Amino acid sequence: MTERLYFLDSMLFSCDATVISCAPCEKGFLVELDRTVFFPNKGGQPCDTGVIGDAAVSSCDEQNDRLLHLCNHPLEPGTPVKVQIDADRRFDIMQQHTGEHLLSWCAWKLFDATNVGFHCALDYATLDLDKPLSHDQVLQMECLANREAAKNAAVTAKEFETEDALAASGIVLRKHAEGLIAPIRVVSIEGSDSCTCCAPHVKRTGEIGQLKVIGELPYKGGVRLTFLCGMRALLHAQHIQDAIDAIALSFSTGRDNAVSAVEKQTSELSETKKVLRQAYAALDESIAKELAKKAEIIRGVSVLVEALDHVDMKRLRALALKTASKKSFCALFSTIDDTIYYVLSSNGIQHDMGELSKAVNLALGGKGGGRGSLAQGSSVKKNDFNETLDQLRHYFYQII
């Protein structure tokens, strides 16, 4: 069985070892060593990557009791090799993982919330709690976790041969994972958290750096918190600061006034939209009256086929409805930049507008549809649009 050196020293990033076995697999070669510093994909976090001799190791997995390193080329069994993991990657993951212990302890201590899930990716980590927390509670939890981290308390691991030995130790566990096979490994933070865990951790809480919760989402009756520790938290803060500064610059104001500047403009925009809606409503009443005068009575049906400029789809539909009479058909087109929008609307006649829209799509080379008394669509504007409109008008006059 491979000796797992990460249990002895989490900051040991290299070692000498001997290749025990090597077998080809779909993605490369699975290499087993007599000892290793590689931590596998386990416990919701990604494995270490690195090198064994001159072979690159892209993954490491546990199969039964074996640790298998996925290498890009074979290594001869019996060969002595130098083993080296990506130290930056390992340290970053240990920061997130140990941060998760502290955040979980704070949630438990402050709100009696239990950690029921953890996932660590290479750019974020999530922690699931079994009860919902308000934003203020999350902030309290975050503050306490940072205060605890600043104490630079020792993080230690201890193994117990039996459950009885663990019980006799007097350690109060925040969490005891189920189905563990002895020895039971307990990771403790001096003065706060203790729980069962199999992963490597930083040695003192100061090494976690800053802990920052950046997302809160309801999840399975509780909450899923997305958080960042250490350099991840710093890079996130830099990114957010740059974004706010860019917003502030666009308003010609300072960072501290950016939010109020956005709120003020949002309010002004909302008022402007309201005034614009009222102005368009008055304008469209007038346009509808003029359009109604252009309708032709074809076999007892009022038929209107007209093209407008810069009227969006919503206004086009409203205009079509405003021009409706007891028995009517209306085909309105509008050009905005290089796009033609159309609406087909009817009242008191048998034709299905969805069927008629197929003819319009064919004529314009566009797309759209509908059913019953309403259909709509759009196309790219072509140079011969006026001729196409005349053809469509003629077609509608024939079939209505």
Q: Which spans of this chain sit near Zn ion (rule: CB under 5 A)?
A: 197, 199
CB of 196 to Zn ion, least distance (A): 9
Q: Which is nearer to Zn ion, 66 or 185 (CB)?
A: 185
Token duo for residue 254: 């300072």
Closer Cβ to Zn ion, 187 or 213, answer by number: 187
CB 309 within 8 A of CB 334: yes
CB 351 within 8 A of CB 400: yes
Kindly list the distances between the CA atom of residue 72 and the CA atoms of 22, 49, 58, 77, in Å, as whole numbers in the listed order: 11, 12, 8, 16
Closer to Zn ion by Cβ: residue 199 or 389: 199
DSSP for 310-375? Answer: S--HHHHHHHHHHT--SSEEEEEEEEETTEEEEEEEEESS---HHHHHHHHHHHHT-EEEEETTEE
Q: Which is nearer to Zn ion, 19 or 155 (CB)?
A: 155
- Report in angstroms how near the CB of residue 377 gets to Zn ion at its nearest: 58
Task: Return d(Cα 140, Cα 147) in angstroms, integer.
Answer: 11
Nearer to Zn ion, 199 or 318 (CB): 199
- 109/144 Cα distance (integer angstroms): 10
CB of 48 to Zn ion, least distance (A): 15
* Three-state secondary structure call for residue 128: strand
Our CB check for Zn ion shows the closer of 113 and 389 to be: 113
Which residue has the closest beta carbon to Zn ion? 197
Distance CA 395, CA 180 (A): 78
Contact in structure between 272 and 300 (CB atoms under 8 Å): no
Least Cβ distance, residue 105 to Zn ion (angstroms)? 11
Residue 175 or 351: the one with the smaller Cβ distance to Zn ion is 175
User: Closest separation between CB of residue 95 and Zn ion, Å?
Assistant: 12
β-strand 328-336 against 301-309: which pairing, if any? parallel
Min dist. Cβ of residue 187 to Zn ion (A): 5
Tell me the two tokens of residue 387.
């001729």
Which tokens hold the place of 9?
Answer: 């020293």
Least Å from the CB of residue 94 to Zn ion: 9
3-state secondary structure of 154: strand
